Amino acid sequence: MSTGHTLLDPELVEVTPGVFGYIQHDGSWMLNNTGVITGDDGSYLLVDTTSTEARNRALLAAVEKITAKDLHEEPPRGLVNTHHHGDHTFGNWLMPQRTPIIAHVTCREDVLAAGLVAAQVLQGPDYGHLELRPPDVTFTGSMNLHLGSRLVELHHVGPAHTRSDVVVWLPEERVLFAGDVVFAGGQPFLVEGSVAGYPKGLDAIRALEPEILVPGHGPVAHGAEVGRVLDDLTEYAAFVAEVGRAGRAAAQTPLEAAIAARDNRFTGWQEGERLVGNLYRAYSELDGNPIDARIPLDTVWADMVTLNGGPIGCFA
Ligand SMILES: [Zn+2]
């Protein structure tokens, strides 16, 4: 295991007074970001949890430090799941029972459908004890939460990274928690989302005009950097769509198309193996399958390992 990735020392960034991004470097597989939003009435809200038991316990200890509250005596007003993936939801079970877990209606369905499978597919980390706890307050469209005088808006922008993508938007402070619609520094992963929908999800974020963006993975973006990150991801989506069209027209498998397109301007981004997974989704959409058609992850994962030239590192 590389010492550069054995990190249990996330960076806590106060992006605006009382609002924190909990940033887990280097943002690769299972190393996601979460958020803590406090209100002027002593209330607080969490955005996502993380992957392993040890990482979740470290996260909750950091939350208790920020709020100076015992999590069980004065629990969070809510926990928002930005989508169903295990690196964002595997800590749900550690929340006090009376803390509602809030998510898009399809996030609950997909947490229940996926179970703990991610811990079997992404082997390497010691996940510790895991239990499944699905969201128990679900919505479609948008929902507003009020933490004292602080307004927190939840907006469904999927299907993009998944069909359940929700962003957490603080309109007054112009701070956005983007979930995995935004990977900063890594290739986005669309196999459970939509290649066609992804640019629309990015447009929905752009329309909010965030000044500070906390991505689902990778460092916080500020000011003009936000636009650059979003533009890069839009270009990546166009690249996947084009490789998908050309590969399918040439009767290549997704893996053959990914190998043929291996030298591209996104190779400097982390997790280049995701390209083949993204092409599976592109092909599925070109075949006219519904947006929520499931693609068997074991096949995709095997092709990702091949494209990667060996086992995919997961150091959480
Ligand atoms: Zn995800």
pLDDT tens digit string along 223-255?
999 999 999 999 999 999 999 999 999 999 999
Query: Could you tell me the domains of the chain?
Result: 3-223 (3.60.15.10)
Q: What is the pLDDT of residues 255-300, one digit of tens each?
A: 999 999 999 999 999 999 999 999 999 999 999 999 889 898 889 9
pLDDT surpassing 80 at residue 315: no
State in Å: Cα 18 to ligand 1 middle. 26
CB count in 10 Å sphere of residue 252: 19
Distance, CA of 46 to chain centre: 15
Q: How far is the CA of 251 from the centre of ligand 1 (A)?
A: 29
Is residue 2's pLDDT more than 50? no
Predicted pLDDT at 292: 84
Mean per-residue pLDDT, 180-192 = 96
CA of 68 relative to ligand 1 center, distance in Å: 30
CA distance 145 to 132: 25
Q: Does the pLDDT of residue 6 top 70, yes or no? A: no
Confidence of residue 117 (pLDDT cuts 50, 70, 90): confident
What's the predicted TM-score (pTM) here? 0.96
159 Cα–ligand 1 center, Å? 12
Angle formed at CA 237 by CA 234 and CA 241, multiple of 5 degrees = 140
CA-based nearest residue to 44, from 21, 69, 61:
69
Residue 188 Cα to ligand 1 midpoint, Å, equals 9
Å from CA of 35 to ligand 1 middle = 15
What spacing in Å lies between the alpha carbon of 141 and ligand 1's midpoint? 20
Distance 191 CA to ligand 1 centre (A): 10
Is residue 98 scored above 60 in pLDDT?
yes
Number of other residues whose CB lies within 10 A of the CB of residue 266: 18
